[in-house]
């Protein structure tokens, strides 16, 4: 639902039509998108903040506060917005926040006073309490209220005898089956010495145009040449760097997949910068939370072979998309074409039955906040969690719009079994479109090679426990130390991934098989410029994601 957010006169006209109460309503509905503690006290400031966040939700906001007559100023009608919001994944305002907003409109001033008394809100805060939304905001600041913790409101509604509103809260809880998160989900990421991915090298990255001019001078006129690589630096790498003799570059993609499946070990291993990134899987620490295995599930595996993850909830889960395009004030260049990737991912995963939550242009701090939100989120009713991160990068790290690094090992730690209990034994899938270094992959002549022998390194897991780092899949756009390619139409990896998901999910291929085809297509994308994606996984079953329409 495109809105011309650059139309300043339209937004100014709308802001003049909104009164003080409506501005408070807008601010509350947008609270999940704004930094905590930031003062935004006018409609125009709200709209400006939304512009800076690249959030196209003004029509949705006007619809929620029932200012339908202002929609035509933006070229919309009420029916347009209703139809748009009926499509799963389009709403940018959470059901939790809409619920609280609607409850506020049903509670009068006397009931607000009663609730403040029941909740023992400090006297110095009472002057700031104008309505029920202000009460909710105060409770959220004190961490007494959250999407997965409505108990304080349930008790308040019982005491003021608003059983109708209590019923609405209970229906929301029943629908989402929200409960208090386990204690483990509130822990901070574990000690870096226990994390599973190798240290990040801080080597400089190569701009794609530099790569083209340095390595493929005689092919500058090729129409397939990318317009930019996922790397900001303008320095030209030496051709000698293209060889970059790392284990990852010299190994075949299929061999990587086989090694990952057999590399499980209960003993941590010391990692080096030249070791294969897949060796990190061998460093998985034992799970501190013993879980009872399902005997029926074990019997099913014994009788039917490889198990299959349960994937039939509605929605299947959250698909979080973190899309970084602009990096103002840093050395990193704008990532043209990334919005096409984010748009395509939104379409494909909505089709597959996921609830989409997309955020644009985020600092590392903001990315951490959003990831921690879903670390603490109750995923009990969902079967899967997907996170797509589109940005510049270094080896095993993502770059924020502030130029700082977010290490992938920290992301993984957030969602491990110890720290995100509601995703235990459920697939956690990360698609990461980012450079991993400055090297250019060298095209090699095809030779007949014997397939790597599969050594039987797997050992039976302890019956009543599982490793905390099980059931992950990180699909990297490229191997460590190498660049990723991107054009104005999107990146090679994400566009190929989406195409393959559309083609093969409906045929019930498992995700690793699909990613193998993604590897092949990306590796054959250009006769000279080379890129090979790299899945890293600890999945314990087949992951088959069928389109939502085929499951109904």
Query: Would you please indicate which residues are annotated as catalytic (active-site) residues?
Result: 392, 435
CA gap 169, 147 in Å, rounded? 11
CB atoms closer than 10 angstroms to residue 510 = 19
Helix or strand run (H / E) with residue 363: none
- For residue 291, what are the CA distances in angstroms to 156, 302, 460, 465, 468? 36, 20, 15, 5, 10
* 479 dihedral zone (left: phi>0; alpha: psi -120 to 50; beta): beta
Phi–psi pair at 274, nearest 5 degrees: -100, -5
Helix, strand, coil shares of the chain, percent, nearest 5, are: 40, 10, 45
Q: Residue 534 in contact with residue 277, Cβ under 8 Å?
A: yes
What is the crossing angle of helices 20-29 and 95-104, to 10°? 150
Whether the ω angle into residue 538 lies within 30 degrees of 0, i.e. cis, is no
CB atoms closer than 10 angstroms to residue 305? 9
CA distances for 453 relative to 247, 256, 258, 306, 495, angstroms:
17, 12, 9, 20, 33
Residue at token pair 């409609």: 43
SS3 70: helix
User: Largest Cα–Cα distance in the chain?
Assistant: 81
Which residues, including other chains, have CB under 8 Å from residue 467's CB and lie 6 or more apart? 264, 266, 284, 285, 286, 287, 417, 461, 538
Distance between CA 517 and CA 510 in Å, rounded?
11
SS (H, E, C) 286-321: CCCCCCCCCHHHHHHHHHHCCCECCCCCCCCEEEEE
Burial 372-387 (b: 16+ CB within 10 A, else e): bebbbbbbbebbbbbb
The DSSP H or E segment spanning 534 is strand 534-537
- The H-or-E segment that residue 365 falls in is helix 364-376
The DSSP annotation for 456-512 comes to ----PPPTT---TT-SEEEEESS-TTB--EEETTEEHHHHHHHHHHHHHGGGT--HH
Listed residue (418, 376, 382, 370) closest to 143, CA to CA: 376
């Amino acid at each position: 639902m495109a809105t011309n957010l650059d139309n300043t006169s339209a937004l100014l006209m709308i802001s003049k039509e909104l009164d003080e109460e409506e501005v408070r309503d807008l601010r509350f509905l947008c609270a999940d998108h704004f930094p905590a503690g930031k003062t935004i006290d006018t409609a125009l400031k709200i709209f400006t903040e939304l512009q800076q966040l690249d959030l196209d939700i003004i029509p949705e906001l006007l619809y929620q506060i029932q200012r339908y007559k202002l929609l035509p100023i933006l070229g919309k009608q009420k029916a347009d917005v209703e139809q748009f919001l009926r499509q799963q994944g389009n709403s940018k305002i959470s059901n939790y926040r809409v619920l609280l907003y609607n409850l506020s409109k049903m509670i009068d001033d006397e009931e607000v006073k009663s609730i403040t008394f029941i909740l023992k809100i400090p006297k110095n805060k009472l002057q700031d309490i104008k309505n029920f939304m202000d009460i909710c905001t105060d409770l959220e600041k004190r961490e007494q209220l959250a999407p997965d913790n409505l108990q304080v409101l349930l008790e308040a509604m019982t005491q003021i005898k608003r059983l109708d509103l209590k019923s609405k809260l209970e229906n929301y809880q029943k629908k989402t089956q929200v409960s208090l998160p386990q204690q483990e989900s509130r822990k901070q990421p574990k000690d870096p010495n226990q994390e599973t991915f190798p240290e990040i090298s801080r080597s400089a990255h190569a701009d794609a145009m530099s790569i083209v001019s340095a390595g493929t001078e005689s092919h500058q006129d090729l129409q397939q040449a990318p317009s930019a690589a996922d790397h900001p630096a303008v320095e030209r790498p030496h051709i000698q760097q293209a060889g970059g003799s790392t284990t990852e570059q010299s190994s075949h993609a299929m061999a990587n997949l086989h090694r990952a499946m057999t590399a499980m070990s209960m003993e941590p291993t010391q990692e080096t910068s030249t070791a294969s990134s897949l060796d990190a899987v061998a460093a998985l620490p034992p799970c501190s939370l013993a879980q009872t295995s399902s005997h029926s599930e074990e019997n099913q595996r014994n009788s039917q072979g490889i198990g299959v993850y349960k994937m039939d909830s509605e929605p299947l889960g959250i698909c979080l998309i973190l899309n970084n395009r602009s990096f103002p004030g840093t050395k990193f260049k704008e990532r043209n074409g990334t919005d096409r990737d984010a748009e395509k991912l939104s379409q494909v995963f909505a089709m597959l039955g996921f609830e989409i939550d997309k955020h644009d242009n985020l600092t590392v701090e903001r990315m951490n906040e959003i990831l921690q939100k879903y670390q603490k989120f109750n995923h009990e009713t969902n079967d899967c969690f997907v996170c797509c991160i589109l940005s510049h990068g270094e080896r095993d790290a993502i770059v924020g719009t502030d130029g700082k690094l977010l290490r992938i090992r920290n992301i993984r730690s957030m969602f491990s079994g110890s720290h995100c209990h509601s995703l235990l034994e459920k697939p956690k899938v990360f698609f990461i479109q980012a450079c991993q270094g400055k090297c250019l992959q060298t095209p090699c002549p095809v030779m007949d090679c014997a397939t790597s022998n599969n050594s039987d390194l797997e050992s039976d897991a302890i019956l009543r426990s599982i490793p905390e780092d099980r059931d992950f899949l990180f699909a990297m756009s490229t191997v460590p130390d190498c660049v990723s390619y991107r054009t104005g139409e999107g990146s090679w990896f994400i566009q190929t991934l989406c195409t393959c998901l559309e083609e093969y999910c409906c045929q019930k291929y498992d995700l690793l098989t699909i990613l193998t085809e993604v590897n092949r297509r990306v590796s054959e994308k250009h006769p000279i410029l080379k890129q090979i994606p790299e899945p890293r996984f600890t999945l314990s079953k087949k992951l088959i994601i069928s389109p939502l329409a085929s499951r109904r």
